[in-house]
Amino acid sequence: MFLKRKLTDGKVQEAFTFPEVLISTGITLVVFGTIFGSMFTGLAITQVTRENLRATQIMVDKLEGVRLYNWSQINDTNFLQGSFTNCFYETNGVGSSTATGTGTMYTGIVSVASVPFSNSYSTNLRQITVTLGWVSGSLSHSRRMQTYVGQAGMQNYVYSR
């Protein structure tokens, strides 16, 4: 629906009506709002996924370290570090109890317990649990990973060679 007006020199001047301009502006705002909202949501999901992945890396690192301890070290409460902190971007060396770095701060607990079942060999097993927590924005997150360690486990193979 164009407005047409004939000028004095014979040329025709065309223009949109005001309601057409308002409707097209509204459609443009909805389209751009949707695009920017999608981008923001995508970036937020990416950040949460990266934090979850880093939490998994930290927990696996702790559990893989425990696999190399011998049986007396696993049962020694003074040897196995009970609590720890770690950063998203860690800048300190391996094995430190407190992390230096930037980004999200992760706090964790490593606990050793008897296995939750009773068999003839249950006294020769320990359940290792790593619990990790962090705050992202205003939301608190936590993850937990468990494994079992046997008295005649991998550590005997590593240390006997």
The model's pLDDT over 134-147, given as tens digits with 9 standing for 90+, comes to 998 889 999 999 99
With contact defined as beta carbons under 8 Å apart, do 78 and 66 qualify? no
- In residues, how long is the chain? 161
| Domain ranges, residue 147 | 2-160
pLDDT at site 52: 94
Number of domain units in the chain: 1
Mean pLDDT of 113-132: 89
Residue 32, token pair as written in the block? 């751009």
Global pTM reads 0.73
pLDDT in tens, 38-92: 999 999 999 999 999 999 999 999 998 888 888 888 888 888 888 999 888 877 6
Torsion-angle region of residue 2: left (phi > 0), alpha (psi -120 to 50) or beta?
beta
Question: Token match 């893989």: residue?
Answer: 64
Q: How far apart are CA 116 and CA 86, in angstroms?
A: 29
pLDDT at site 53: 95
Mean pLDDT of the chain: 85
